[in-house]
Amino acid sequence: MTRIALLDYGMGNLHSAAKALEHVGATVDVTNDPKLIAQADKIVFPGVGAMRDCIQGMQDAGIDEVVRNAAFNKPVLAICVGMQALLERSEENGGSGALGIFKGTVKRFPDFDGLKVPHMGWNQVHQQDSSHPMWNNIPQDARFYFVHSFYVEPEDQNLVAASCNYGLEFCTAIHQENLFATQFHPEKSHTAGLQLLKNFVEWKI
């Protein structure tokens, strides 16, 4: 059975994510222990709240370097602020540094007439490459659940795995080799979200 380290650094919706992963067949360790993280088959990197607090929580738990290393040597799924933390910098709090695994910036949604920020609720996700194994058995333009005020803008557009529209077209998933990340919350996205988590558990790199 696939053993997944669900990173606990005080900034994730860990209970629902753990239950969803267990539901699709994984054994889950909710942990900030670098040894357990290193021993896991795969890693899920969740995050909610402010970027600065997210990065500080990782540094306090001593797992920021573990994540940087894992991003290049085992399957990783990053969710919401976990995805945003993979980039270099966020506009949040007047500017905040992130992990810098990918070049790019995290930007706040502009104030469009009639659109509330945060972007909250269900929205269609358009897959850039439906042949990616993480999209197996998920219909094109399936709906997923979002809660966020900021979105990622990677410098390399080849990283974009999916996009979504909320006043503007924005990147909602990125991928590179063994890493996949989503702005939406698969653990809150019912059938499509559970399928994506199942795909991650079964993903062969």
Band of pLDDT at residue 66, cut at 50, 70 and 90:
confident
pLDDT at 104: 96
Q: Which active-site residues does the annotation give?
A: 80, 185, 187
Neighbours of 8 (CB within 10 A): 18
pLDDT per residue over 14-43, tens digit each? Answer: 899 999 999 999 999 999 888 888 899 999
**How many angstroms separate the Cα of 87 from the Cα of each of 36, 93, 116?**
25, 16, 25
pLDDT at 71: 76
Q: Which CATH architecture has domain 3-202?
A: 3-Layer(aba) Sandwich (3.40)
What's the CA gap between 200 and 4, in Å, rounded?
10
Quick check: 11 pLDDT over 80?
no
Band of pLDDT at residue 63, cut at 50, 70 and 90:
confident
pLDDT at 4: 96
The kind and range of the H/E element at 106 are: strand 104-108
Backbone angles phi, psi at 18, to 5 degrees: -65, -45
pLDDT per residue over 46-61, tens digit each? Answer: 888 788 888 888 888 8
User: What's the average model confidence in pLDDT over 71-91?
Assistant: 91
Nearest in space to 154 (alpha carbons), one of 56, 77, 86, 68 = 86
